[in-house]
């Protein structure tokens, strides 16, 4: 298992790890410790996306990366919706260190309008949704372009979610496998 910590200064990102706070769809912290990790391959692709975003004057703001299998179970127990959450029985790309939830921020640190907040479990969150403002549609397209140019796959129902292609080839990782757990 090779997980890389995603944090400045090694990665020029803003961290807003939603599941380490009560500001998420469960209404309470899921992680006891705020830290972001990705599989080595995902970290390399994230570095490419950071470079592409910076060339256009943007930075990435990360909401979640690696999610221990135990955390996936907590989320599923709260909201067992397979349209927006992977069933822990089959595993999530997040629980393999192969997915990241993020948005774009401008030079002032303000998030670009994406039409919905992160983890808005509605059809308005789908890529290609035309029921959001043209500005939000353009911002989602910009994020999609940057991430796919850096080698990421996307999930069509969540504008914020990107993952490695064929992420199931990687093993699921539990919290106990980390040197210092998140849970």
Q: What is the pLDDT of residue 40?
A: 98
Q: Indicate the burial class of 100 (C-beta count within 10 angstroms; 0-12, 13-18, 19 or more).
A: buried
Helix (H, G, I), strand (E, B) or coil at 104: strand
Does domain 3-177 fall under CATH 3.30.230.20? My reply is no
- The pTM score is 0.97
Q: What residue ranges do the domains of the chain occupy?
A: 3-177
Q: What is the rounded distance in angstroms from the CA atom of residue 153 to the CA atom of residue 138?
A: 19
C-alpha dist (Å) from residue 156 to 26, 39, 163, 166:
23, 22, 11, 16
Point out the residues that are catalytic.
Answer: 158
Stated length of the chain? 183
**Sheet of 59-64, strands arranged across:** 13-15, 59-64, 99-105, 161-163, 153-154
Query: Residue written as tokens 């890529």?
Result: 127
Which helix (H) or strand (E) segment holds residue 75: the answer is: helix 69-78
Residues 6+ apart with CB under 8 A from 127: 140, 144, 154, 156, 157, 159
pLDDT digits over 78-130, tens only? 999 998 999 999 999 999 999 999 999 999 999 999 999 999 999 999 999 99
pLDDT tens sequence across 35-57 = 999 999 999 999 999 999 999 99
Q: Indicate the DSSP class of residue 14.
A: E
The whole-angstrom separation of Cα 47 and Cα 10 is 9
């Amino acid at each position: 298992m090779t997980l890389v910590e995603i944090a400045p200064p090694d990665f020029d990102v803003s961290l807003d790890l939603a599941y380490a706070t009560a500001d998420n769809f469960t209404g309470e912290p899921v992680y006891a410790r705020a830290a972001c990790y990705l599989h080595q391959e995902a970290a390399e692709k994230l570095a490419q996306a950071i470079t592409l975003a910076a060339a256009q004057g943007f930075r990435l703001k990360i909401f979640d990366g690696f999610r221990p299998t135990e955390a996936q179970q907590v989320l599923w127990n709260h909201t067992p919706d397979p349209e927006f959450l992977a069933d822990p029985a089959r595993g999530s790309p997040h629980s393999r260190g192969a997915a990241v939830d993020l948005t774009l921020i401008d030079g002032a640190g303000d998030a670009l309008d994406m039409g919905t907040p992160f983890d808005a479990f509605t059809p308005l969150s789908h890529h290609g949704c035309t029921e959001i403002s043209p500005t939000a549609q353009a911002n989602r397209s910009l994020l999609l372009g940057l991430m796919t140019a850096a080698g990421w796959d996307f999930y069509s129902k969540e504008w914020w979610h990107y993952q490695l292609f064929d992420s199931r080839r990687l093993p699921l990782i539990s919290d106990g496998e980390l040197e210092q757990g998140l849970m």
